[in-house]
Structures are given as C-alpha cells and as structure tokens.
A and B are shown apart, each in its own frame.
Chain A
Amino acid sequence: MAKVLVVDDSETVRSEVSNFLTSQGISVSTAEDGLIGIKAIKSDAELKLVLCDINMPNMDGLTMVEKVREIEEGRRLSIIMLTTERSKTMVERGKKAGIKGWIVKPFNGNNALNGIQKLIAAN
C-alpha cells in the first residue's frame, strides 16, 4: 500500500487529510511540525509522498523541504505543499527546493486525489 506523510500542526487538518486518503486505500502517517516531519522521513524508506503545511511551529514547511533535500541519499521524495500561503516568493522558494505541487487550503480531497495518485505512481 502506498504511504503518504502528512505534516501539519493542525490536528483537524491531519485528521481530515488522513481520513480522506485512508478511504482511498492510501496508508498515512502524520507529523506535527517540520522537525518531527524530518525524523519521520528519515525513519521511513517506504514513503512515497509528503503533504506539508508551511506555517508551523519549531520548523516551517519550506525549511523542512530544504533540509530534506540536503539529507536525501539517492531518493528524491515527492513533496506537495498544503497551505494557506499563496505568495509568489514562497512558491518560487518551494519550486527551487523541488516540490512537486501546491495545494491552497482548505484541502479538497476530490480536487487533489488525481494529482496525488499520479505522484505516488511516478515514485
């Protein structure tokens, strides 16, 4: 079963996204901020995709993506930002770090599912 990590400080978002993806046959793990997200990525080689918020305590999502790119060995994990942010500066920073997509909150599972499945399949 494909595995996705959801990194978001909001328990509501983690639950909502996890419930939706699980109902679509996707296995989900969660992390509450960027620091915990990095630990989860390091310890789970089975991950196919990460959905990541930007505004989080301890470590923000874009910094997390940049750190993940520094520590990756061989694999290039697909990461999608899931955020209320829409600024061009942030999008460009994300693209530079090699993110695969951008979802503007609130999460709309039906809108996002096709893209998520494509990215999982591409991995």
Chain B
Amino acid sequence: MQSSNELYTQIHVKVLVYDSHPELASILNTAFNECSVQIISDSKKDIFELLDEHSDLGAILISEDPPYFGRDNLFLILKKIRETRPELPIYLRLSDKKCPPLSKKTKELCTDYFNLDELDQLATSVKEKFFQLFYPQPLVNTLRHVSSEALSQLFKNGSIYTDEAYLVNDQIACAEMFSLIPLDASWCRGYMMLEANQEEIRTLLESMIPDRSKEEFNFQTCNALLSEITNIIWGAVRGHEHTEEQPSSQIQIPIVANRDGDRVTFGVSQPCLCFLHSIEITLDGIVRSISLYQKFIFNLTWHPENFNHQTLQSTNFMQPGSFQIFTDR
C-alpha cells in the first residue's frame, strides 16, 4: 500500500503567465520542470482581474507585447503591477519580433527579462528566488497531513481538501482575516498564519452551531472561530516536536501589518510555505466551499533535521478528540 507521504508531489510556485504566445505554456512547463512551477494562464482576462483572483501568486511572467494592452502600454502596465502587487517578481519575455529597445525605466520595473532561447537562465533565477530554504518532503507531507486531519476533527460534517504545498511571497495577505501563532520548537522558530474571508468563517459557524441565527455571528464570533481553528492545528503540529525543551534563543523581529493594500511582513526575503485547504460544508441543502490559507513562516530559525516525523508517544491518549480519566494516586 502506498503511504500518505508518497502520495504528494513537490512544492511548487504559482506563476501567472500573461502572454499570447500559443506554445509558451508547454515550453515553460518543460523549462521549469525542475523547480516546480505551476503556470496560471488565461489570456481572455484582463491581467489585473487575474491578479485580483490569484492573491497567492509567486511571480508574474509577462510578454513585452502583452495581450489587450500592446507594447505601447507596457511601461504603464508594469508600473501599475508594481504599485498593486509590489511583492511579485516580474519576469518579462522579450518579443521575438524586431522591436525598438526597451527604455531603462521599463527595464527597472522588471526583476529579470529573457528571450525564449534563454529559459535555463530564467528557471535558475526563479529557483534562486523561491527555493532559498530546503523543505524536506516528508516534513511538508506531515505538516499537510496533521493540519488536514485537525480540520477534519473540527468540522466533522464537512469534507476537507488540501492542495499540494506551495510557496508564497512575504508581504501579501491572501484574505480578509488572519491569525498568527508562534512556532517555537527545536526544528523551527517562526509563525503559523491562517487566513480566511469573514463570510466563509460565518458559514462554518452556522454549520457548527446550527441552533443560533446567522445574525448572532458577528466579527467577534468569526474571530473566535478563526482563533480556535488556529489553536487546533497548532496543537496538532506541536505534537511533532522532537523534544519538549524550549529553544534557548529568544530572538524576535517585528511583524508589520499595513491595512493599506492588505500587507503583512515578517521581515524576511524568503517566501513562506503555504497550504490551501478547502472545507466543503452542506448548509440548507447547498454545498459551500470555504478556503483557508495556512502559511508557515520560518523567519527566526529553521532546522528541519530536528523535526519528529512520528506523533509524540510520550502519552498514550494523544489523538485529537480523545479523553483520558486519571485515577487517584
């Protein structure tokens, strides 16, 4: 039988490709094979609509002659992307047609630019940007599994689907609400962050506490549920700490949240590990899907070799939902 660890594939980065070249997606898939890039592409849509739809992108790859807008508007488009999504690296594909050279100002807005015959260089650039930390696959699979299991325990009347792990940039908030809880173990120090939209959290509350009217669920009750989901997953992750000793280092760095543009930064250049969970709940006969972004930010220390892949065996009642009565001594 295949173990759960073997079912999962490599960590990837989501890259929005905005380019009308008919074969580009397949050419890039081949070139990016080693660094696991998931290409998102829909040239029928406006690029800014796509950016709105995909808050969890890792990068954007755009043609020098972008669909709809054309080369004449390239500078303005790049400038607007920089303003709306400053965390996104922009890779510019130079046109294979003979065009006047790009202005210095235009080039400065891009992280890198490339011709189709220089894709190796591009793949290396993407790899260096995103794969700065090494994430052992068994560790990633365990985090994914225990998080998904914890959600299943909490939402017994729902179905949980968890995407493969991917990397997202520091600085961007993916949803309206977020919670943060410190991770302080021998294998890492940093934070776990959960993000969700308030209306979706309200739907979960309705499913959990059906005898209360929808109007009773306000922002405070939504906050409380997000907090409890965070607590439950955090507890499950902590069950894999290698030892019970706390790390001696108490170094901290500030986390900065900026409500303008929904920014939050942990002060690091490396992207963070992300899982997207979808919780499907049936309410009043209608199936509703709730998205929950779970990010791990290992911004203080990262020692994956200390991670314990087995659940702690220090006591024998460790499963979520279990109850043990102690006899008097």
| A, B co-complexed | yes
**A residues bordering B, Cβ < 8 Å?**
10-13, 15-16, 19, 55, 80, 83-89, 91, 95, 99-108, 111-112, 115, 118-119
Q: Tell me the nearest residue of chain A to B314, going by C-beta.
A: A88
Q: Does the CB pair A105–B220 fall under 8 Å?
A: no
Given contacts A11-B221, A16-B208, A86-B318, contact A103 B238 (CB under 8 A): no
Q: Does the CB pair B208–A102 fall under 8 Å?
A: no
Determine the chain A residues whose CB is within 8 A of the CB of B318 once the complex forms.
Answer: 86, 104
Determine the chain A residues whose CB is within 8 A of the CB of B224 once the complex forms.
Answer: 10-12
Determine the chain B residues whose CB is within 8 A of the CB of A101 once the complex forms.
Answer: 323-326
Determine the chain A residues whose CB is within 8 A of the CB of B208 once the complex forms.
Answer: 12, 16
Q: Tell me the nearest residue of chain B to A112, going by C-beta.
A: B323
Q: Does the CB pair A104–B225 fall under 8 Å?
A: no
Given contacts A12-B221, A12-B224, contact A88 B323 (CB under 8 A): no
Within the complex, which residue of B221, B312, B323 is in contact with A111, where a contact is CB–CB below 8 Å?
A: B323
Q: Does the CB pair A87–B323 fall under 8 Å?
A: no
Query: With an 8 A cutoff between CB atoms, is B329 at the interface?
Result: yes
Interface string of B214-246 (1 = CB under 8 A from A): 000000110011011001101110110000100
How many whole Å from A70's CB to the nearest CB in chain B? Answer: 19
**B residues bordering A, Cβ < 8 Å?**
150, 153-154, 205, 208-209, 211-212, 220-221, 224-225, 227-228, 231-232, 234-236, 238-239, 244, 312, 314-315, 317-326, 329
What 7 A-B pairs have minimum CB-CB distances, sorted nearest first?
A84-B235, A108-B321, A88-B314, A11-B224, A101-B325, A10-B228, A12-B228
Q: Does the CB pair B323–A12 fall under 8 Å?
A: no
Determine the chain A residues whose CB is within 8 A of the CB of B323 once the complex forms.
Answer: 80, 101-104, 108, 111-112, 115
Q: Does the CB pair B209–A106 fall under 8 Å?
A: no
Determine the chain A residues whose CB is within 8 A of the CB of B320 once the complex forms.
Answer: 84, 104-106
Within the complex, which residue of B220, B227, B232, B244 is in contact with A106, where a contact is CB–CB below 8 Å?
A: B232
Q: Does the CB pair A107–B326 fall under 8 Å?
A: no
How many whole Å from B67's CB to the nearest CB in chain A? Answer: 46
How many whole Å from A104's CB to the nearest CB in chain B? Answer: 5
